[in-house]
Amino acid sequence: MPSIAIPHPLGDPSLSADDERALRRRLVERALDALTTSIDAQTVFEPTPV
């Protein structure tokens, strides 16, 4: 599952606190979606548009 960057996998220090919170929420929602999706082959969960 792609993230922001290696030094900041769950955030972006250049964003405001509210924007970073929204970004983290999208990442967590995508991770939960990946965990609850039944798959039979390699699957890449692409980032949702901002």
Q: What is the pLDDT of residue 31?
A: 85
Place of tokens 């792609």: 2
Q: What is the pLDDT of residue 20?
A: 87
Sequence ranges of the domains in the chain: 13-37
Torsion sign (Cα): 44, 31, 1, 15: positive
pTM for the model: 0.64
Q: What is the pLDDT of residue 50?
A: 59
Query: Can you list the pairs that 20-27 forms with residues at least 24 positions away whose Cβ atoms lie under 8 Å?
Result: 23/50, 26/50, 27/3
What is the pLDDT tens value at each position of the chain, 50 positions in all? 566 666 777 778 888 989 988 988 888 888 898 899 998 999 887 766 65
Q: What is the pLDDT of residue 36?
A: 92
Q: Please count the CA atoms within 13 angstroms of the CA of 10 that sit on its side-chain side.
A: 7
